[in-house]
């Protein structure tokens, strides 16, 4: 039996989106995931009240899995100054508060682990989203470094990264391992390795950013080595009964860059070292590749999830402009993906998964709402129904 047969949903009664999914020892209550979204609201990497409420509301909102924003494995290589972090034991209690609250509300909690590489330290989008200048970073008093496989900047706005030595590559791999151990201490259920969007591990994959001549550059196998070794090393310390996800940019879209054939090869290699789910995103290596070559549209990345699932025989998570319960359900029902992740739609409507459950399973089903709310919503629904009948 293949891994995909175990999650065949076609024979069961419930709508596919609402069916539970077993991933190793974890049982997700449905197929809806909160996609990673940077909040730029941490202080020295530590969870604040903002995160308690922000992730807490999603735990109440009915999703099966809440994934955090990219959480930095090193303090000197964050996406933004105020990223969540897991480079210190001091971060564990705050993250445990998040996972405890999710668990108390029957929701699984996952952490996205990241190293921003040559795209380290940009402004939050609300301040413009630009790369912070060297002058601003030096003046900030932060420890910071932009590093990459080669001394090639991500684009004009980014400073040139330092080329990592092999021993620095090993050190960063061990940072991911240390982060995974801390995530386990914080009772996190899922780790997602951020291998997409042009950050460190993604920058090793593409020949546009990786022009090394050692064992980490050149052939596809060599360019994949850092990602595969990191996944393998994390898998070795991450408990056997906990699932491991990897987010990939399936397409960068630029001529001579990373494409679908490469993604399928990487998915197979990651599966071989114990990755369970590929989260199928795209773009990010440079601004140009993101904007022009992966055109936006409703469900625009779903075909990537479908192709990876079919060709690599690994579970996938689809993401990108997924808007309605019917659309999300169709993605799972037709075998295009095993999980559906939503980002901005959930910023708009954090109770989207509970509402999707109601829409798909019957207008009177409020069972996905928190206990404290559901009876009131049910009563109101009955009143409104009576009123509309008597009109
Ligand atoms: C505010 C915001 C922050 C994001 N931060 C991250 C991140 O930390 N890691 C990541 O992999 N993707 C990040 N993304 C991308 C989302 O996870 C998602 O892939 C993207 O928004 C497309 O899904 P959507 O159309 O449902 O929003 C972010 C998106 C938004 C809107």
Query: What was the pLDDT predicted at 9?
Result: 45
Q: Which atom, in ligand 1's list, is nearest to the CA of 194?
A: 11
C-alpha separations of 158 from 216, 319, 347 in Å: 23, 27, 29
Give dist(CA 317, CA 309) in Å, integer.
9
323 lines ligand 1 (CB under 6 A): no
In a domain, 325, yes or no: yes
Give dist(CA 116, CA 214) in Å, integer.
22
In a domain, 244, yes or no: yes
Q: How sure is the predictor about 214, in pLDDT bands with cuts at 50, 70 and 90?
A: very high
In a domain, 363, yes or no: no
Instruction: Please state whether beta strands 26-28 and 244-249 pair in parallel, antiparallel, or not at all (unpaired).
Output: unpaired
Domain span holding position 11? 5-350
In a domain, 102, yes or no: yes
Q: For the segment 273-295, what is each residue's pLDDT rounded down to a tens digit?
A: 999 999 999 999 986 655 556 78
In a domain, 389, yes or no: no
In a domain, 326, yes or no: yes
Ligand 1 atom 23, closest CA = 320
**Residue 196's closest CA among 284, 276, 131?**
284
What does pLDDT average to over the chain? 94
CATH number of the domain encompassing residue 20: 3.20.20.70
Task: Taking each helix axis as running N to C, give the angle between helix 260-272 and helix 302-312, from 0 to 180 degrees, rounded to the nearest 10.
Answer: 50
The SS3 call for residue 303 is helix
What separation in Å is there between the alpha carbon of 37 and the centre of ligand 1?
5
| Segment among 172-181, 223-232, 255-264 with least mean pLDDT | 255-264
Domain count, the chain: 1
Q: How sure is the predictor about 3, in pLDDT bands with cuts at 50, 70 and 90?
A: very low
| CB atoms closer than 10 angstroms to residue 101 | 17
What separation in Å is there between the alpha carbon of 76 and the centre of ligand 1?
22
In a domain, 376, yes or no: no
Q: Is 199 a catalytic residue?
A: yes
What separation in Å is there between the alpha carbon of 35 and the centre of ligand 1?
6
377 lines ligand 1 (CB under 6 A): no
233 lines ligand 1 (CB under 6 A): no
Q: Which residues make beta-bridge pairs with 66?
A: 34, 109
Give dist(CA 105, CA 236) in Å, integer.
29
Q: Which residue has the tokens 């989008």?
A: 125
357 lines ligand 1 (CB under 6 A): no
Alpha helices in the chain (DSSP H): 49-60, 92-104, 134-140, 166-185, 200-205, 220-237, 260-272, 287-293, 302-312, 325-333, 344-348, 352-361, 371-390
In a domain, 221, yes or no: yes
Ligand 1 atom 12, closest CA = 36
What separation in Å is there between the alpha carbon of 68 and the centre of ligand 1?
10
Q: What is the pTM of this model?
A: 0.96
**Beta-carbon contacts of residue 373 (< 8 Å; ≥ 6 apart):** 366
């Amino acid at each position: 039996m293949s891994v995909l047969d175990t999650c065949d949903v076609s024979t069961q009664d419930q709508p596919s989106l609402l069916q539970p999914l077993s991933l190793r020892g974890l049982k997700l209550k449905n197929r809806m995931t909160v996609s990673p979204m940077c909040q730029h609201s941490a202080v020295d990497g530590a969870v604040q009240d903002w995160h308690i409420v922000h992730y807490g509301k999603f735990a109440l909102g009915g999703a099966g899995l809440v994934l955090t924003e990219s959480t930095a494995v090193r303090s000197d290589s964050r996406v933004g100054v105020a990223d969540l972090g897991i480079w210190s034991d001091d971060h564990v209690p705050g993250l445990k508060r998040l996972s405890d609250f999710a668990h108390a509300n029957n929701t699984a909690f996952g952490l996205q682990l990241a190293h921003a590489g040559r795209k380290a330290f940009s402004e939050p989008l609300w301040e413009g989203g630009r790369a912070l200048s060297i002058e601003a970073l030096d003046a900030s008093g932060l420890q910071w470094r932009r590093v990459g496989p080669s001394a090639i900047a991500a684009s004009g706005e980014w400073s040139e990264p330092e080329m990592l030595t092999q021993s620095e590559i090993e050190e960063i791999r061990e940072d991911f391992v240390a982060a995974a151990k801390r995530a386990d201490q914080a009772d996190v259920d899922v780790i997602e390795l951020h291998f997409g969007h042009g950050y460190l591990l993604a920058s090793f994959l593409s020949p546009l950013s990786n022009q090394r001549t050692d064992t980490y550059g050149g052939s596809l196998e060599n360019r994949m080595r850092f990602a595969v070794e990191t996944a393998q090393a994390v898998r070795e310390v991450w408990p056997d009964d906990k699932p491991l996800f990897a987010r990939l940019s399936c397409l960068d879209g630029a001529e001579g860059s990373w494409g679908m054939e490469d993604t399928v090869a990487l998915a197979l290699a990651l599966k071989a070292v114990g990755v369970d789910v590929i989260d199928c995103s795209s773009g990010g290596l440079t601004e140009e590749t993101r904007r022009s070559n992966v055109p936006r549209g409703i469900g625009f990345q779903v075909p990537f999830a479908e192709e990876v699932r079919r060709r690599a025989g690994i579970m996938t998570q689809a993401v990108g402009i997924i808007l309605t319960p019917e659309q999300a359900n169709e993605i799972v029902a037709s075998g295009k993906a095993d999980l559906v992740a939503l980002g901005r739609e959930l910023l708009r409507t954090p109770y989207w998964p509970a509402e999707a459950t109601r829409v798909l399973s019957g207008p009177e089903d409020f069972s996905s709402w928190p206990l404290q709310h559901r009876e009131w919503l049910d009563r109101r629904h009955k009143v409104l129904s009576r009123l509309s009948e008597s009109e």
